[in-house]
């Protein structure tokens, strides 16, 4: 197979893409604080001669537009910019220089790939029709998410016919990309349970209502919903990520707080969860003489890839890297992603970019303090975004 000229050109850009990725990686920024990252993108886009809209909806988000001046569809390409409140433990020479913050989900790579795609497509603008919008989006990691804000308050999908994004994917080796039509990722919601008991001396538990003991029972009872009350063919997951209570070994606290998330795939299950969770909490508290407050916050909807767009994009990437470089993802996952808000409004596709390299120990999951990626994936991601976009504008 002859090498695709887009991929060949992207490989010549590797050093530039690695440099911008490492610079962003050294200087990670939390949700809605991504001003420095946005400035890097702004400089890059203006260097390509693109029109740029900044500070969308009062956030660091920005959009660069490539308008060919010829009639055709409008495609939006999106990269998220924010990092996570995690202390990096990779030992990389480009490790985070910001205490307690790191790019543990690969958003630095997403930005680099988008900037590379913008360069590739700008070089081929005479062969294009329609419009391309390159979005650097804040706050994917913090529900309700930057996507929702930019769509509802910034109007970023006005006139847009389709949306495209990639996400790094450690299960796949560098050189492969994963595609799945339909549901890719599940609903992602959060909840808080506060147990209100009666505090007292550790030596006299009979005079108290032990909030810690009640919280432990609530934790255990919630798992009953998953294991025995729910249809296993329509799964969901409950995770308690934090249980906070007490300040001293000899004091029974009067309050305990559980912070949790629930992930699901089925819309009926998703809709039923607040009532089901609160019913369990209420039952335990009634039995133990405790009181409670319960808060359930809807997070991200399910991420659904448009079937037709996915099929066409798969063929585009096959022409780029060959059949062996394209992997069908057989099942959805329960992770959440605010790109789902795009998929609710326009045909959308998120595909997976393989970044694994076992020989170099680059095997850790996203959201791990040891997550890193094979940077050979950067030109591949840039070229894939560009090839899909070019083919979409030609045939969209």
Residues noted as catalytic? 82, 140
Check the CA dihedral 19-22-24-26 and report its sign. Answer: negative
Query: What pairs with residue 162 in β-bridges?
Result: 75
**3-state SS, one letter per residue, for 13-62:** CHHHHHHHHHHHHHCCCCCCCCHHHHHHHHHHHHHCCCEEECCHHHCCCE
Compute the distance between CA of residue 30 and CA of residue 296 in angstroms, rounded to an integer: 24
Report CA Rg, the chain: 23
- Nearest-5° Cα angle at 315, 310 to 321: 120
Structure tokens at 315: 């063929």
Using CA atoms, how far apart are residues 377 and 16, in angstroms rounded to an integer?
Answer: 13
Residue 104's SS3 state is coil
Residues 6+ apart with CB under 8 A from 138: 31, 32, 33, 34, 38, 59, 60, 61, 80, 81, 82, 146
Q: Structure tokens of 396?
A: 């969209």
What H or E segment, with its residue span, contains residue 107? Answer: helix 107-123
Max CA distance (Å), the chain? 81
CA dist 88 and 86 (Å) reads 6
Q: What is the distance between the alpha carbons of residues 63 and 84, in angstroms, rounded to a whole number?
A: 23
What one-character-per-residue DSSP string does 122-191 give?
HHTGGG--SEEEEEEE--TTSTT-HHHHHHHHH-TTTT--EEEEEEEEEEEETT-EEE-SEEEE-EEEEE
Residue 96: φ, ψ to 5°: -55, 135
CA dist 348 and 327 (Å) reads: 19
């Amino acid at each position: 197979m002859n090498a695709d000229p887009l991929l060949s050109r992207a490989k010549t850009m590797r050093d530039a893409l690695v440099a911008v990725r490492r610079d962003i990686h050294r200087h990670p920024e939390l949700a809605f604080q991504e001003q420095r990252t946005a400035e890097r993108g702004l400089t890059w886009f203006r260097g390509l001669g693109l029109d740029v809209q900044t500070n969308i909806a009062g956030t660091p988000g920005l959009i660069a537009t490539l308008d060919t001046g010829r009639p055709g569809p409008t495609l939006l390409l999106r990269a998220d910019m924010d990092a996570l409140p995690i202390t990096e433990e990779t030992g990389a020479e480009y490790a985070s220089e910001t205490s307690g913050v790191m790019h543990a989900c690969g958003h630095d790579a997403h930005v680099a790939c988008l900037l590379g795609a913008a360069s590739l497509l700008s070089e081929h603008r005479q062969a294009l029709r329609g419009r391309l919008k390159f979005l650097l989006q804040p706050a994917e990691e913090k529900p309700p998410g930057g996507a929702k804000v930019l769509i509802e308050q910034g109007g970023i999908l006005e006139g847009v016919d389709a949306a495209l994004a990639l996400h790094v994917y450690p299960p796949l080796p560098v050189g492969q990309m994963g595609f799945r039509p339909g549901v890719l990722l599940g609903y992602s919601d959060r909840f808080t349970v506060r147990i209100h008991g009666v505090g007292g001396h550790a030596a006299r538990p009979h005079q108290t209502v032990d909030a810690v003991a009640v919280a432990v029972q609530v934790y255990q009872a919630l798992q009953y919903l998953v294991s025995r009350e729910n249809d296993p063919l329509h799964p969901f997951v409950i995770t308690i990520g934090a249980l906070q209570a007490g300040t001293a070994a000899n004091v029974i606290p009067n309050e305990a707080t559980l912070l949790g998330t629930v992930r699901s795939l089925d819309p009926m299950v998703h809709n039923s969860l607040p009532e089901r969770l609160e019913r369990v909490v209420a039952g335990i508290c009634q039995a133990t003489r405790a009181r409670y407050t319960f808060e359930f916050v809807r997070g991200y909807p399910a991420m659904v890839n448009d079937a037709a767009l996915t099929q066409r994009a798969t063929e585009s990437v096959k022409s780029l890297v060959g059949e062996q470089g394209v992997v069908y993802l057989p099942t959805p996952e329960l992770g959440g992603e605010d790109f789902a808000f795009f998929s609710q409004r326009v045909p959308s596709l998120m595909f997976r970019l393989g970044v694994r390299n076992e020989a170099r120990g680059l095997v850790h999951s996203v959201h791990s303090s040891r997550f890193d990626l094979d940077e050979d994936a950067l030109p591949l991601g840039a070229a894939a975004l560009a090839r899909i976009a070019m083919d979409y504008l030609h045939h969209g």
